Structure 1
Amino acid sequence: MEISERLENLPLEAKFPDNLKEKISYDVDRKLLIFEGVMSEDEKNELLGISQDDSYRKSIEALFQRSQITKKREKKAKLSLSGSRDILEREKEGTALTAPKENIQLKGLNPPEREDPPKERLRFSIIGQKIQEQSKQVDAGQKGEAEEKATPQTQVTKELKDEWKEAQTFYHEFVVLAQEVFDKIKEGHNFEMERVRKAIEKLIDDLTLGNESIVRLAALSDESYSQFASNAVNVTVISIKIGVSLHYNKSGLMELGMISFLRDIGLVLLSHIIEQPRKLKTSEYEEVKKHPLYTERFLEGLGINNEVFKQVVLQHHEREDGSGYPGKLKGEAIHEYAKIIAVAEAYESLTHNRPVRAGLPPHTAMREILEEGVAFFGHRVTKAFIREFGVYPVGSAVELNTGETAKVIAVHKDFPLRPVVQLMADAEGRPISKILNLLEKPQLFIKRPVEEGKH
């Protein structure tokens, strides 16, 4: 596990202790302080002791905090994996897995023939806590009253609905903000950069905490919004999610998010060409290819002279194999932010409707990315993208081995074939609505993807 924190310069007096040289390093080119593994309190104090430089000390403190958060996440993941292995072992031994008597309400989550694991293996974070609170009420002798008020299924559904509503509100406000920004740009007016910054900061917080609802919204093709506004928000969501997978610190995620959002201002200025319901003429396409340069000039006019901003804006259409534009750069000559935005753009474009074509199902778009990913976006970024979005990305319609059809609503990074799904119809096509975590249901698996609308 590698974590990093941006640091403009390593203090001259900062000489890393011999016992930590294999764990901590400073990347001069990327201006990153990098730590391998989980930093202990003693290691933090030892590293703080080698310099009084404020920026350095803040970076060490940030690395320590991030490593502790990551440690907690890995502990949860190990607990979940242990629970899943236990289920598999019981099945091999032919032992029936029955929920404890006090957890009888959990049987409402699935059809009667399916057995449920103990409640502590349900991994819906806050939702799981609510289920445990519900069973505590039962333990306290309030079983009848608790059953009247709610079942674990209704609790799960309520929590997901609440999260979904909050995500919908935020997504709508963010897209509306994007539209306001781009309208002002077209009219030659300035926009409030601070509002954009605050929206991206909230997005980072949500994605860092594992909120998948905003990712589901970014996967939808909603034509009630303008293409430019929704694309800016969707690509920002996808890019930050990849950045989280690559363990970027918050300042790095903020930088990546801001560039993702503002990268195509040049296209907004060329909207009279882009939005035509036909294929572009060769001359038009050549003009559109100049949009990174137009974006760079526009940002300079706003007083944004950050070299990373300029570099990434100019490079986000470059490709690992040198087939991109405008500079036909290859490999390490392309900034990693640019590679992230490139794969995010490709996936967003493939899965959303455009004037001349319909969007592809998420799993089909993923297959296309897999075919060209490493050649176009590099191994590290492609691997992070697949890890975050899975073989069956959020929004994919699938058929289970039971004949039921479902939609993927969350992905387990380490188990891409075992996502969380929401059942849409039973084997006979009758509508149903239940949430299943396939990581906790080893007897269930995805049989095949299905076309949207055929479930």
Structure 2
Amino acid sequence: MLVKTRYLIEGCILSREIRGLSERPIMNEKTVLTKELIEALQAFLITEVSVDRTLIDGKKFLPKEVIDPELDEMEESSDFTDLYLKSVQTYKRLFKNWQAGSKVEVAMIRLIVLPLVDKALEEASNILMLHHYCKKEDYLFHHAISIGLIGAYIASKMKCSRADVYQVAIGGCLADCGMAKLPPRLLTKTESLTVEDYEEIHNHPIFSYKMIKDSSIIKDSVKTAILEHHGRLDGTGYPKSLKTKPMNLFSKIIAVADVFHAMTSERTYRKKQSPFKVLEMILHDDFGKFDIEVVKTLLSSFANFSIGSRVKLNNGFIAEIIFIDASSQTRPVIKIQDSDHIINLGINRELYIEEIL
């Protein structure tokens, strides 16, 4: 649980390491706090830390104040879905604070997303079903947490270090924080956006970057990714003011995570599409816009978890995925429910998977 440093007592056990401006931690996870260590934390001007509920002597730690009860509940949760939904609601509350003028507390985002990343990587199939949880009314908040998780998963599969996986997660969650600086009417609009609306929305990566650029928690390459996550490899995308230069790996990962979740989620002005259809569109219709290795990493992972899944086709039929050809991963072989009819979607191009059930 997260508590103010002034409420710590001897025997408290750190549940997360404490970092300052240097790469090395000031104190490691599971450090047992003494009077001297507590004084050291105060000397470093550290105002809050995360500690276990139990003291070293086995007694319960009952601080006078828990900083964030929602985060406290999240630490106790063992169910991914429950943890994810609580993270979304906590992010929603933070976003409203940003709309009111509060600064982005990157440390708080880190506390929200890192336990969720750890849990998600243990049960990776959950990450690929995030679009099921998204409600269009709260799309923006689901989208932020989901970009972080999908991006972290891709980074992990691409053999990035765990530290960089965490960085991608934080960057993904904060990529759209600049939306808080847009007129609220744009965030709640139910009809199609106008050209003028899009012009305003295209400023949000710049706002996001300005809101986090002074953070010592985020690497410079991730800050760049936040600024250019709507940029494309072929020079399209936005903001247009960006200089022409190669996108770094974090930018490429967050860009794919962003568009994948956006297109597979229900929006107030647009229906969601199936992950298979979206990945096919990214691979073919948007060829040259996204890094092919990043897209293939996500596609391959999605395919591995999809065997045996029930799906709905665009003709209304319900089927089960029974085989996925490595050369045509977006168009698997399916078996129609309650029949022996098998269809290879790679050959029957007029059919496609509309939804994973």
* TM-score of the two chains, using structure 2 as the length reference: 0.63
Q: Report deviation, 1:414.
A: 11
Q: Do residues 220 (structure 1) and 132 (structure 2) align? A: yes
Partner of 2:178: 266
Counterpart of 1:325 in structure 2 is: 238
RMSD: 4.1
* Paired residue type of 1:357: R
Aligned to 2:254: 341
Residue 312 (1) aligns with residue 219 (2): no
Say whether residues 1:257 and 2:163 are aligned partners.
no
Structure with the largest fraction of helix: 1
Question: Sequence identity of aligned pairs in percent?
Answer: 21
Write the letter of the residue equivalent to 1:176: Q
Deviation at 1:313, TM superposition (A): 1.5
Task: Give the letter for the 1:186 counterpart.
Answer: Q
Q: Which residue of 1 aligns with 2:70?
A: none
Aligned residue number for residue 284 of structure 2: 371
Q: For 1:376, what is the secondary structure of its paired residue? A: coil
- Structure 2 unaligned spans of 5+: 1-22, 25-76, 346-351
Pair 1:229 & 2:141 matched: yes
| Structure 1 unmatched ranges of 5 or more | 1-54, 57-163, 429-442
Alignment-derived partner of residue 405 in structure 1: 319
Instruction: Evaluate the alpha carbon distance shift between residue 412 and residue 234 of structure 1 in structure 2; reply closer, same or farther with a 3 A threshold.
Output: farther
Q: Which secondary structure does the structure 2 equivalent of 1:397 belong to?
A: strand
- Residue 371 to residue 199, structure 1, CA distance change in 2 (3 Å): same
Offset at residue 192 of structure 1 (A): 5.0
Tell me the alpha carbon deviations over residues 58-105 of structure 1, each in whole angstroms, 9 at most, x when there is no partner: xxxxxxxxxxxxxxxxxxxxxxxxxxxxxxxxxxxxxxxxxxxxxxxx
**Partner letter of residue 405 of structure 1?**
A
Assess, with a 3 A threshold, how the Cα gap between structure 1 residues 393 and 367 changes in structure 2: closer, same or farther. Answer: farther
CA distance in 1, matches of 2:330, 2:229: 30
**Alpha-carbon distance in structure 2 between the residues aligned to 1:405 and 1:324:** 37
- Contact 1:259/1:309 (CA < 8 Å) preserved in 2? yes
Q: Which amino acid aligns with 1:257?
A: A
- Deviation track 1:122-150 (CA, whole Å, cap 9, x = no partner) reads xxxxxxxxxxxxxxxxxxxxxxxxxxxxx
267, 270, 275: which one aligns with 1:354 = 267
Larger C-alpha radius of gyration, 1 or 2?
Answer: 1
Alpha-carbon distance in structure 1 between the residues aligned to 2:249 and 2:152 = 13
C-alpha distance in 2, partners of 1:197/1:412? 38
Are the equivalent residues in 2 in contact too, given 1:322–1:328 (CA < 8 A)? no
Give the 3-state SS of the residue equivalent to 2:263 in structure 1. helix
Query: In structure 2, do the counterparts of structure 1 residues 183 and 367 end up closer, same or farther at CA, with 3 Å as the change threshold?
Result: same
Q: Which moved more, 1:367-376 or 1:312-321?
A: 367-376
What residue in structure 2 maps to residue 245 of structure 1? 157
CA contact (8 A) 2:167 2:218 kept: no
Q: 1:305 to 1:343 in 2, by over 3 A?
A: closer
**Cα distance in 2 for residues equivalent to 1:187 and 1:248:** 36
SS at match of 2:238: coil
Deviation (angstroms), 1:320? 0.8
Instruction: Give distance in 2, aligned partners of 1:253 and 1:189.
Output: 27
Matches of 2:331 and 2:292 in 1, distance apart?
23
Distance 1:331 1:254, change over 3 A: farther
Asked if the contact 1:243/1:253 (under 8 Å) is kept, the reply is yes
Q: In structure 2, what is the equivalent of residue 178 of structure 1?
A: 91
- Kindly tell me the number of residue pairs found equivalent between the two proteins: 271
The one-letter code matched in structure 2 to 1:258 is I
Per the alignment, do residues 404 and 224 of structure 1 end up closer, same or farther by CA in structure 2, a change over 3 Å counting? Answer: closer
Whole-angstrom distance in 2 between the partners of 1:221 and 1:210: 16
2:288 counterpart SS class:
helix
Q: Deviation string for 1:310-365 (max 9, x for gaps)?
A: 31121111111111222476996211111111111111111112122211122221
- Corresponding residue for 1:111? none
Is contact 2:106-2:215 (8 Å) kept? no
Mapped to 2, the partners of 1:348 and 1:191 lie a distance apart of 23
Kept in 2: contact 1:322–1:330 (CA 8 A): no
Using the TM superposition, give the Cα deviation of residue 287 of structure 1 relative to its aligned residue in structure 2, in angstroms.
1.9
- CA 1:243–1:272 in structure 2 vs 1: closer, same or farther (change >3 Å)? same
Contact 1:201 1:254 in 2 (8 A): yes
